[in-house]
Structure 1
Amino acid sequence: MRIPGLFQYSLNPPALSGDDAAAAEEKIPWVLLERDAYVAKHDNATTAFALTCNGKPIQVTFCPRRPPSVSYACIHCPDPNEINTEPSIVATQEGFVLLRVAIGRKDEYLKNFDYYVYHAEGPSLMLLPRLPKHFDGRDAGVLCYGQEGYIVAALRHEGWWPDGQFDLCIYDSNKPGHWNVHRVSLSKRHGRKKHFFHIICQVVAIGGDAGTMAFADHWHGILFCDVLRVGDEAARRRPKEGEPMPLLRYVPVPEPHDSMLGDARLYRNVAVVGGRLKYVQLHPRKKPLDGICFYNDGSSTDGYIIEGWMATTWSRPAAATSASSSSSLSTSSSGDDDRWRKDTSIRDLNTGLKVPSNLGFELVSRRPWQPVLGLQDDAEDIVYFTAMVQRMDYKEWVAVAAVDMGKKELLGATAFSAAPRYIDFAYVHSTVSKYLR
């Protein structure tokens, strides 16, 4: 069956193996989760049901797999014309997943995004009220708090607004039925500039008493906002209409800031692991060149040649990221515990890794992409990359490879069967698996 607007691959989720079934029973602590859900009917103990904005039934099911295999979700409506483009995983935290589904006519899909919150403990699926303002999926995150409460928060900026000002859209499950919108801004003390450029590409829930969330522009810096304090601050200040509240703190990301590479999610990632905010960056080692260099994958560079790809991890205390903190904004790698600390580095991912002989494959000397931090506290140096892998019979395939950055060792790789669905960012990390039934 074909559905207009959907890739054929999106209708056929990967087959689950016996090991996948065992992983689901074990409640694995975290997973890699495909960014786009499959449009297919699949039922198991994780299946949850709701109604669309049109009053039609919809269901969501999760299929967990051990990393480096990539887990996925299936979304199904009995009416095949109800979903007209690939549904997406917007954000996750603990047992909550924020999903976005385009409902109804394809030519009006920008007006018809349904946002749902899936709660693994139940499971349950909740359709959120329509947003007061349109935002891109990259702008939003979910924060769990209290016993079973959650907040969905999105930070958005219009090009004609003053630099450093944003609308913070908040939905609180303990105050259901509507969204609250607050105009917020950077304070001068926390990095406000005359020309402030910030395009959000990842949102991370840090938590704590203030409910801190990080809105990351991986080429420039991270905005921190204490979302649990916004309502109290708004009530205290009673700002005039449109007057922003200086509730954002800005921290630059470690250099280099190589925005010419394109989508930052293919080169950078951030997560809270072991009580620290960890950051991984993948960047090219460049050699000056007169003229243009063309590569086998169809890409090119002007004025330099890429000799290899270097990966570096950094971290800073997660507890020091609150927007009310007055700490340093430096990116120095010194011993100051509130600065980015350089943890690990591999000069060349293709030639600088130990590859155990029993693996039976090696990384191909091409560009790796999309580093994703593992979320296991006792294995915090493991990073996952999408890469070309070559077996001993010289056959090549796209795989997700696990690399121990501390030991500089390739731990393993699994074929990424969903690769034909993506030309860019493909999966996220999530702890929802340990809450699934």
Structure 2
Amino acid sequence: MSAVHGSARLPPPVARNPLLHDSGLLNSTTFISDHRNETTAGTLTRAGLTIQVSFVFADPPRLSYFCVYCLNRYEIPFAKAPKVVSSVEDTALIQVLLTTEDSPQYFLYRARGPNGRPSLDLLPDIHRYSQTEILCVPLGFVSHDNHKQFVMAALSYGTWDGEYNLHTIGSNPDSTWSKKLLQVEIPNGLTANSALIEPTKVIALGGGLLGWVDLWKGMVICDVLNPAAKAYFVPMPKLLPNNNELYGNQYSARPLRDITVSRDYIRCVEFEQVLKLRPTTVPAVTDPWDMDELQDSELAIVPPQEEEEVYDVVGWRLITWYRSLTWNGWRKGSMVHSDDLGIISLPQLGGGSCPLNEPFKNLKTASPTLSDDDVVYLVCMLKEDDQAVWIATIDTRSKSVGEVVPFSAEGTVIYDPTFIPCVLSKYLDAKSDGSQGGKRNASHVPHSRNISKWKKQRQLLSQAELEEQQPLPHLLQHSSAAVVMPVNSPQCV
């Protein structure tokens, strides 16, 4: 088993204005670092080791990031980079796999814990439960009782199309999983197969309502706090023509679509490349009527050639939709065409003084990410396989380009972004500007215990495994599985 351990050199802190930005873009790049600030919270692992999590927020389109560290004097490494599986409202679900464990551990970070401060809780063993119940990724969770309690929820497929099982477990130490059959109400005109989704995202709709979203087909919504409540299906908007022609639900929808909840509305955005048929040169066809003589060499029968249509990308357009839970349809929001935006100025990586000026329509662009207002973030690059990638801010209402920031795309592509929307910062009273905390708070970061148990497990590791361990690189790239995964290849915990 290869392992990652050590500490990472953090980027310099970025000043932020919490009055302007409640939401942000959280990079799933993990820093393994003993970094502490006002967001830091900690708890104990299954083996009794202390683990802590901290966040450093930045104004979008800059990326926020998080740090994880296992506090122990035995230098226990991580088997792989921790990741934020999903983030909903004031909570974040974090997956951690240490070399002392056979299965991942899941922790729930809350910006407002039971005492009003950040907290970190070890969740029940999801992996063990999923050995008998195949749970669909991603998991969802809701807080209740004034954020003192939470319920974690997951779906699994039922026996018939459009039928699901809802699995829930509470936050009390003696809580156990419960399971109930969901009968999903389907809008008139749709079939049960329409509601058979492969969710890649969970959105919180207020109260106990959670929506499991398939960006191609729609979402299954249910109240996880009310066992008697019915579930119902909300279809996604109809695909734009070129997306339907080129993709047709065969690939991940993340390069084209995103969905969020803001100001009591469900909001969806779709991105589409604008295509133009490339003119083809058709060879001249001779007409014997006009010929005085016919050479034998010209009389070969040539079978008709079917010309393959070739299209060029000449720009892009995007459209937003919104709806209330009580509506029976979507309403059009804003529309933006790349021609509306003209020339875009791309700052250089490393802060070079000469930005690149390019027509926006000429850039490779994809993966729209919705903010909690009329802003959409787009990922773009000059050409395929570039390491220089930019995140551009698009105001869909004024049809204008806002701030554009560069970031390194090493290990990723624009069609699989390594960041997810996150609103954790708006629930934190204190600023998290990257400053190092002066001392550890015992209530936030408890002390390790049961080290002897770990030492026994450690002795079981082979010498070959120990020799495999390499120093931790400065950055560990890891995409968030809860947001981006192939729709035709559902994953389970």
**Which category of TM-score, normalised to the shorter sequence, fits these structures?**
0.7 to 0.9
Structure 1 residue 66: Cα displacement? 0.7
Out of 307, 311, 316, the position equivalent to 2:318 is 311
Aligned-pair identity (%): 26
The amino acid of 1:177's aligned partner reads S
Structure 2 CA distance for partners of 1:356 and 1:366, relative to 1, 3 Å: closer
Distance in 1 (alpha carbons) for counterparts of 2:404 and 2:341: 14
Task: Tell which deviates more after alignment, 282-291 or 420-429.
Answer: 282-291
Distance in 2 (alpha carbons) for counterparts of 1:12 and 1:139: 28
Contact 1:163 1:193 in 2 (8 A): yes
User: Which residue matches 2:477?
Assistant: none
- When normalised by structure 2's length, the TM-score is 0.67
User: Which residue matches 2:64?
Assistant: 71
Paired residue secondary structure (1:153): strand
Structure 2 CA distance for partners of 1:115 and 1:357, relative to 1, 3 Å: closer
Out of 2, 12, 17, the position equivalent to 1:16 is 12
Paired residue secondary structure (2:426): helix
Distance in 1 (alpha carbons) for counterparts of 2:76 and 2:412: 23
Contact 1:354 1:408 in 2 (8 A): no
List runs of 5+ in structure 2 lacking aligned partners. 281-307, 348-354, 431-493
Structure 2 CA distance for partners of 1:303 and 1:139, relative to 1, 3 Å: farther
The amino acid of 2:184's aligned partner reads L
Structure 1 residue 411: Cα displacement? 0.6
Contact 1:309 1:367 in 2 (8 A): no
Contact 1:285 1:306 in 2 (8 A): yes
Paired residue secondary structure (2:225): helix
User: Which residue matches 1:248?
Assistant: 231
Structure 1 residue 98: Cα displacement? 1.4
Please tell me whether residue 282 in structure 1 is matched to residue 281 in structure 2.
no
User: Which residue matches 2:40?
Assistant: 47
User: Which residue matches 1:133?
Assistant: 130
Structure 1 residue 344: Cα displacement? 1.0
Structure 1 residue 410: Cα displacement? 0.9
Paired residue secondary structure (1:266): coil
Structure 2 CA distance for partners of 1:399 and 1:194, relative to 1, 3 Å: closer
Structure 2 CA distance for partners of 1:114 and 1:315, relative to 1, 3 Å: same
Please tell me whether residue 266 in structure 1 is matched to residue 255 in structure 2.
yes
User: Which residue matches 2:422?
Assistant: 430
Report 1:3-152 matches (<5 A).
Answer: 4=2, 12=8, 14-17=10-13, 20=14, 22-23=15-16, 28-77=21-70, 78=72, 81-104=76-99, 108=102, 112-121=103-112, 122-131=117-126, 132-133=129-130, 138-148=137-147, 149-152=149-152
Relative contact order, higher structure (CA 8 A, sep 6+): 2
Distance in 1 (alpha carbons) for counterparts of 2:309 and 2:168: 44
Deviations, residues 38-76 of structure 1 (Å, cap 9, x unaligned): 333211121111122232221101010111101011111
Paired residue secondary structure (1:413): strand
Distance in 1 (alpha carbons) for counterparts of 2:35 and 2:17: 15
Contact 2:195 2:233 in 1 (8 A): no
Contact 1:33 1:428 in 2 (8 A): yes
Distance in 1 (alpha carbons) for counterparts of 2:144 and 2:191: 29
Distance in 2 (alpha carbons) for counterparts of 1:126 and 1:90: 15
The amino acid of 1:368's aligned partner reads T
User: Which residue matches 1:170?
Assistant: 168
User: Which residue matches 1:410?
Assistant: 401
Contact 2:222 2:232 in 1 (8 A): yes
Structure 2 CA distance for partners of 1:13 and 1:187, relative to 1, 3 Å: farther
Structure 1 residue 413: Cα displacement? 0.9
Contact 2:314 2:361 in 1 (8 A): no
Aligned residues: 371
Contact 2:256 2:367 in 1 (8 A): yes
Distance in 2 (alpha carbons) for counterparts of 1:352 and 1:310: 9
Task: Tell which deviates more after alignment, 399-408 or 359-368.
Answer: 359-368
User: Which residue matches 1:352?
Assistant: 340
Distance in 1 (alpha carbons) for counterparts of 2:39 and 2:364: 36
Deviations, residues 337-379 of structure 1 (Å, cap 9, x unaligned): xx2111111233xx4315588985444723212211112xxxx
Structure 2 CA distance for partners of 1:189 and 1:396, relative to 1, 3 Å: closer
Structure 1 residue 206: Cα displacement? 0.5
The amino acid of 2:62's aligned partner reads S
Paired residue secondary structure (2:410): helix
User: Which residue matches 1:370?
Assistant: 367
Deviations, residues 223-266 of structure 1 (Å, cap 9, x unaligned): 11122222x45xxxxxxxxxxxxx32112111215445622222
User: Which residue matches 2:217?
Assistant: 220
List runs of 5+ in structure 1 lacking aligned partners. 234-246, 292-300, 321-326, 329-338
Contact 1:364 1:388 in 2 (8 A): no
Contact 2:391 2:404 in 1 (8 A): yes
RMSD: 3.4
User: Which residue matches 1:334?
Assistant: none
Paired residue secondary structure (1:286): strand
Distance in 2 (alpha carbons) for counterparts of 1:383 and 1:16: 26
Distance in 2 (alpha carbons) for counterparts of 1:352 and 1:100: 42
User: Which residue matches 1:183?
Assistant: 181
Contact 1:287 1:306 in 2 (8 A): yes
Distance in 2 (alpha carbons) for counterparts of 1:167 and 1:290: 53
Structure 2 CA distance for partners of 1:194 and 1:11, relative to 1, 3 Å: same
Structure 1 residue 139: Cα displacement? 2.0
